[in-house]
Structure 1
């Protein structure tokens, strides 16, 4: 189960490049339900996500580079590219800052995953977080892939 909150970021108040990062490329074979392929650095996945906004089922299956390339060629819409920075928050949470490239250059989203729905619901975001877009599909990557 994936439980996460998502926020727009207008401006970062610090240099994210000081934190660990991953280069991500992903595309969608289907958007309802979500079936995507992703390359994260040199690791490849096929992911299924059920319907939902803050909480939903998520399953990742490993792929090799050849299978990823084959499936990427079958994807619809935009191929999304972004750099994901991982920033510790408190004792057990991590902020994932996604800085998009290409067609969505300038878009910055922050996601925080939680162990429970209760923790997600009571979360107080850092001051630099902008609009909470958790309960909107507008900023789901699967939606962006179709714009």
Structure 2
């Protein structure tokens, strides 16, 4: 069984811009387009294009849960992704994900595009629930969203 243990925060653009140590152009990123074939359970397709131009396609299953949940990722071909893209429900989520090192962790900073422009999330994944609970977030993170229903990317895809 695959397990995802992750915490999520809202980040305010004006606070992020005041961080002298964060110059996004210096970090690795990927442009992500993802859509949902099903919301419960979450079945998602994703296209990810790295800064280098390399593309990856994936189908993901995510079980119930906020901090901790079951997760399986399966590779897709570009053709399979395009075929399934026509079957998604809700909107296609588009975002740029920057990968920022933070001690032994990686911050995945998602800057949304399109109808969700202006929204920024920071996510950190952990090997154990105990580590997740002990984690001290950087001061530039805003409100934690981990335990707040309605803030997953699947929820955003179905929000008006």
Cα deviation for residue 17 of structure 1 reads: 2.0
CA distance in 1: counterparts of 2:109 and 2:8, whole angstroms:
10
Whether 1:54 and 2:67 are equivalent positions in the alignment is: yes
**Partner in structure 1 of residue 44 of structure 2:** 36
Ranges in structure 1 where 5+ consecutive residues have no aligned partner: none
Q: How does 1:1-147 map to 2 (within 5 A)?
A: 1-11=3-13, 12=16, 13=19, 14-41=22-49, 42-90=55-103, 92-147=104-159
Question: TM-score scaled to structure 2, two decimals?
Answer: 0.89
CA distance in 1: counterparts of 2:8 and 2:123, whole angstroms:
4
Cα deviation for residue 114 of structure 1 reads: 0.5
Cα deviation for residue 16 of structure 1 reads: 1.5
Aligned residues: 146
Q: Secondary structure at the match of 1:69?
A: helix
Ranges in structure 2 where 5+ consecutive residues have no aligned partner: 50-54
Q: Do the aligned partners of 1:94 and 1:112 also contact (CA within 8 Å) in 2?
A: yes
Q: Secondary structure at the match of 2:109?
A: strand
